Structure 1
């Protein structure tokens, strides 16, 4: 089983959410999004009780639309080479991505800084 899990880990790292993942319940590969949907369905009640359901669904929707971080970096490289990737990462570091999140406010950064955390 250890070899199977190592192989599954390698496959997941290589193909990500767009690929197939090892389903530990069936011991077979399945499309990654199916497994994510199954997991979300299992934890849906807890997400709802804790007020996280909408945020989780929005985040998964964003990943479906825009791709993962690796997908976005590859797209930036394809469109503008290494300078495009560096600009993309600089924007993320500067916090530009959070402004699209309805839960983010500039006060969030002020709170983090006052608590001694680094922004972002």
Structure 2
């Protein structure tokens, strides 16, 4: 048989165990929720990266189309019958985007 002090000590231990059990259940639920949220965010990130890559590819295609249109619209008379600069031919896209688009905009082709 237990003394009154031993019985009170056991009651305190039982309460502490119950609190720990409840806390553990809450922590497990919170962990599950956070894990699911993390999975959704990872999926969203993956989907966003794929979409960004697709849009970058599409942008590259459109930039190439703009470059081709620009090359078709520039006549030798526009250049004073001079050959196209090497920088224009080699890295023409950068050249076109920096100096060609204003020409296209003013001609109404880029609209």
Same fold, TM exceeding 0.5? no
More helix by share: 2
With structure 2 as the length reference, what TM-score do the two structures score?
A: 0.24
Please identify which structure carries the higher strand content. Answer: 1
Q: With structure 1 as the length reference, what TM-score do the two structures score?
A: 0.23
Larger Rg: 2
